[in-house]
Amino acid sequence: MKAGAGHAQPPHVHVEAGDAYAKLWLDPVSFAVSAGFNAKEMGEIRRLLEQRRDECKEAWNEFFSGKA
């Protein structure tokens, strides 16, 4: 997973695996876009992001505050 680059947008991450792609909002955790992941994979992605949401939001805030 990688943090999204557009600060004008709410905090989000991008997930890529092979030809599959997803963009997920962090608050609340939800899919903005998904292509190529099956339902099981999407569930796993969402579960992992929910577990690490606070860490991802902290990294987002540090990056866009110039402290990263």
Quick: pLDDT tens for 7-53. 678 999 999 999 999 999 999 999 999 999 999 999 999 999 999 99
Would you call the peptide bond into 28 cis, given omega within 30 degrees of 0 as the criterion? yes
Task: Decide which of 63 and 31 is more confident.
Answer: 31
**38, amino acid identity:** N
Does the pLDDT of residue 3 top 80, yes or no?
Answer: no
Distance of CA 15 to CAs 56, 65, 66, 67, Å? Answer: 13, 23, 23, 24
- Model pTM? 0.82
Does the pLDDT of residue 61 top 70, yes or no?
Answer: yes
